[in-house]
Chain A
Amino acid sequence: MKPRRKVENAIRNKLHFPAGSMLRDRLLTDVMNAREESMQIRPVPCGPGIGRRIMKTRIARVASVAAVIAVAVLAVTFWSRSSSPAYAITDLPLLFEQARTIHVQGWHYFPEHTMPDGSAVPPSPIDNWTDVENARCRFTTTGLLAGGTDGVKVIVSEVVRDGPSWMLIDHGDSRSVVYLSVSEYQQKLGIRQISKLISGQLFGDITQLSNSIVVGTERIDGLACDIWQSDDGQGSRWKQWLSADTGWLMRAQVQRKVDSGRWKVATDYSLIEYNVEPPEGTFSLEPPEGYTASNSPETAYPMELDTGHCGGYSDEHFNYQCGSRIVFALADGSIILGWQSIQYKDAEKQAQFFEGVTFGGPLPKLHLEFYALTPANGSSEPLYTGYHLAFTRKKGKFFEWSLYVPDGTPPVDAPETGYEVLCRKNLESPNGFRIGKLTVKPEFTIETAEEFDEWVLGAMAELADDGTPPENLTYQKVIDLAQQVRTSVTP
């Protein structure tokens, strides 16, 4: 009889069934699809915008909000001590687009954490490049793993975006890369939104406003800068150095109030350069030496269209999920929203909700219905009521495309600040749903029939199995519908 230890070793070492390539392929596709779907159903910012994913770490979030203020201050009327010109908030994307390249260097610090021996956590470098002309970028994301037996661990990743391929580099223990791919439409959208991409890396959401004041002046590289500062009242302080002459952001800093009551730097974007030539290989999609690739650019995981400006909800068992995919504003103030509401246990049941829906008619009575919008600035007026435009279907999922028409004059800044989605539960037992605030923001404003065809119909085609938009849907028909609705609701 075999000794027991030998049997144990035999089971451990010899009993092994590797997965075949067919299973690997099938499973990988399904797993990545399931992941994509799960990313849209949480009441948090999500989506493929890698630039936005850095906001999921606390430090990066704080840093991003800091930089938001840098943008916000441009919209604030300068007060007495400043001789700087006042900039509208919409000037900043324009300024970014005027640069050929933008290079940001700095450090993430971790003032609220210490190593097991009490020493400071080593800072993590920031080195971000954006090639505005060619819509390429490379940027670092940093997180902190605390509470393990090894004390704290700084986790650094990098993202390189160039054309249809993205490379995600894990600088952690695994030292690995993974490739993602985006469609031609997504690439076009990325190029169109290059300023959002840059500000996303630097600042997060540029539309968040806050009050800042000038607390001093300083020269950076010979340029006079005003130093702006704001506190959030919850232990975070932001400082920005803005060129008094040009409005360019020259430096930004996030500070945290530690237990001793002192302010300590958490993130310092100490160097912000414009129009500097990136070093050769900056945007290379080759894995760094010593790193292993989970896949290749040829086998990159495809990313489904999701602008990352949206969010969603799910019930506690993930049987029902819903969320928005992409949003556009129309020049008349109406909004077009692509969204979905899925019952996972039987996706085919979605079809019944779309039977009989007509252009300009009521929305399909999906389990969770995005029936209206209101401005996200806190005002309950005007109310944007939803009307059905079309639906598309991809991989068994239905996407509803709705037009939301305001019943009054829309706020001027609504496309920048976004819209809150009002949801109606059409469930028999809706108690399991976790409903939070869901805000959507338009990518940009559609002003012509050509833009409508390119961007709105293009988005619909992206989320359709056959890659074509619904038939007979035109810009003019949508504009006419909005006008008809406004006429009927206006006294």
Chain B
Amino acid sequence: MIEDELLKWKFRRGRPEALARIYEKYLDPMLTLAMGLLNDRAAAEDVVHDVFVSFASLGPGFRLRGRLSGYLATSVVNRVRDRRRRLRRQIVASNRRSEPARESVEPHRAASFAEQAAKLNEAVAQLPAEQREVVLLRLKADMKFRDIARLQNTSINTVVGRYRYGLNRLRSTLNGEVDA
């Protein structure tokens, strides 16, 4: 926590080493989060790219009262939502089949992932979008239910419920598949 406060402080003062450290520290977690939400490596990389470039553009004067990880995770979620909305519009406009074009892991890509991570991701991908968001933000971005509720524009009880339902479903899906 204190490291993040220092990073924020330095980043506000335009210190390049702070940005480099933030990048090193949060690139993989944010990519994992985006992967979990999109289940599409290329799309996840695009989202994370946009999030970090946008963050770097904030530069001096950047003020953030909350947690850095929460801010970045929220940015990832917002961009994932934007992407889904865009995809939906494109699909409607082109009268394509209604299934999302990039919602499945391509076999040759999946083969390069760690097997367990891929299985976990497949399981997470089967959750409804809201439950998926809550589970990933809670477990991968360490966000508080209160903050997730604000992001999803709903009550804490609803978010806790989504989390519980999501975990129950994962328990069922992952039974015997992945070691903890």
Contact = CB atoms under 8 A, between A and B. Distances in A.
Interface of A: 1-19, 23-24, 26-28, 30-32, 34-35, 37-39, 41-42, 44, 46, 53, 56-57, 143, 145, 148, 150, 153, 155, 157, 168, 170, 172-174, 176-178, 180, 294-295, 301, 318, 344
A69 to B, nearest CB: 24
B67 interface: no
A15 to B, nearest CB: 4
A11 B121 CA distance: 9
A173 B2 contact: yes
A16 B31 CA distance: 8
Given A7-B170, A19-B28, A27-B23, A35 B135 contact: no
Given A32-B56, A44-B60, A148-B5, A14 B14 contact: no
B68 interface: no
A32 B19 contact: yes
Nearest to B58: A38
Contacts of B14: 35, 39, 46, 53, 56
A46 B174 contact: no
Interface in B156-180: 167-168, 170-172, 174-176, 178-180
Contact of A10 (B23, B48, B54, B179): B179
Interface in B112-164: 113-114, 116-117, 120-121, 124, 135-136, 139-140
Given A15-B117, A178-B16, A27 B27 contact: yes
26 contacts: A2-B180, A5-B180, A6-B180, A8-B139, A10-B116, A10-B174, A12-B139, A14-B114, A14-B179, A14-B180, A15-B120, A15-B121, A17-B28, A27-B52, A31-B53, A35-B16, A35-B59, A42-B59, A143-B13, A145-B5, A148-B2, A174-B6, A176-B17, A180-B16, A294-B21, A301-B20
A178 B114 CA distance: 31
Given A31-B56, A34-B53, A34-B57, A15 B140 contact: yes
**Residue among B3, B16, B27, B170 having the largest count of chain A Cβ atoms under 10 Å:** B16
A101 B6 CA distance: 34
B49 interface: yes
A168 B2 contact: no
B117 A11 contact: no
Interface of B: 2-3, 5-6, 9-10, 13-17, 19-21, 23-24, 27-28, 31-32, 35-36, 41, 44-45, 48-49, 52-61, 113-114, 116-117, 120-121, 124, 135-136, 139-140, 167-168, 170-172, 174-176, 178-180
B15 A53 contact: yes
B49 A27 contact: yes
Contacts of A31: 19, 23, 52-53, 55-56
Contact of B49 (A3, A14, A30, A301): A30
Contact of A1 (B20, B60, B175, B178): B175
A155 B36 CA distance: 37
A17 B31 contact: yes
A26 B49 contact: yes
A145 B59 CA distance: 18
A241 to B, nearest CB: 31
A155 B9 CA distance: 10
The 5 closest A-B CB pairs, nearest first, are A38-B59, A6-B180, A34-B56, A178-B17, A9-B180
